[in-house]
Amino acid sequence: MSDHRTGLPPGIRACLFDMDGVLTDTASVHERAWQQMFDEFLRARDGASFRPFTQDDYNTYVDGEPRADGTRHFLTSRGISLPEGDPDDPAGTETVQGLGIRKNALVQQHIEQSGVATFPSSVDYVRRVRAAGLSVAVVSASENTAQVLVQAGIADLFDVRIDGIVTREQHLAGKPSPDTYLAGAKALGTPAPAAAVFEDAVAGVQAGHAGGFGYVVGVDRVGHAAALRAGGADVVVTDLGELVEPA
């Protein structure tokens, strides 16, 4: 029987949350930034044969992955090979790094102009699991994680942050590898079987499943519940509030 305070199985002592699309309503910001960046690049490259970047492309190739990996995977899907480039390439340079930097600049521009919205039920759920004595971490591929959490006013809710900067500095493999979630669990002092993962990306639930985590929660914001289940989610919800059973 699950704990009525959290909706989690017995023995879960820690919760590891993805950020974009789970805690903050920024997944759509990332999707628009990816689309604008890739469409600019593809339109200039392909001319009349231009095919736009789609939500299916976002879900399949870039959602939840480190920026460079997502850039590389989508380009490969279109049969395009670019030089890797350097992390200090000017934004928009026709390299994997340069295109990723352009995408990140678009995300930051939106955040600065419009701020960051949260999913209130998710924030309430994080507070609920903390009140139940569980430790919590945020695990995100974004290098903007710290900025987003501060602007959203929720930075103080998390004991540990594993983000794109930590991933790069510690040479961790990105999702769907379990490395970042395992790093989060280790930082919390909790073995994977005693931790729950909360993810809206297929790559993320695959990471949770591959890491042997005790419970993997898929959060379906875009109508891909079947893909989340196939990726390894133990349960799929459209809102974290659904996990909480009536007292």
Q: List the catalytic residue out of 20, 89, 163, 220.
A: 20
Q: State yes or no: pLDDT of 247 exceeds 60.
A: no
39 catalytic residue (yes or no): no
- Strand, coil or helix: 128: helix
Q: List the catalytic residue out of 3, 18, 86, 124.
A: 18
- Which domains are present in the chain? 14-26+116-243 (3.40.50.1000), 28-114 (1.10.150)
Contact 59, 226 (CB under 8 A): no
**SS3 sequence of 166-219:** HHHHCCCCCCCCCHHHHHHHHHHCCCHHHEEEEECCHHHHHHHHHCCCCEEEEE
pLDDT category, 26, cuts 50, 70, 90?
A: confident
| pLDDT value, residue 22 | 96
Burial grade of 167 (CB within 10 A; 0-12, 13-18, 19 or more): buried
Cα–Cα distance, 209 to 178 (Å, whole number): 8
Cα–Cα distance, 201 to 245 (Å, whole number): 24
**Which tens digit of pLDDT belongs to each residue from 111-166?**
888 888 999 999 999 999 999 999 999 999 888 899 899 989 999 999 999 999 99
| pLDDT value, residue 245 | 62
| pLDDT value, residue 233 | 98
124 catalytic residue (yes or no): no
Contact 67, 141 (CB under 8 A): yes
Query: How long a stretch of residues is the chain?
Result: 247
| pLDDT value, residue 116 | 87
pLDDT category, 66, cuts 50, 70, 90?
A: confident
pTM of the model: 0.79
Least confident of 48-57, 103-112, 201-210, 227-236: 103-112
pLDDT category, 16, cuts 50, 70, 90?
A: very high
**Which tens digit of pLDDT belongs to each residue from 152-205?**
999 999 999 999 999 989 999 999 999 999 999 999 999 999 999 999 999 999
CA torsion angle for 146, 64, 185, 119 (degrees, to 10)? Answer: 60
Number of H helices and E strands in the chain, helices first, is: 10, 6
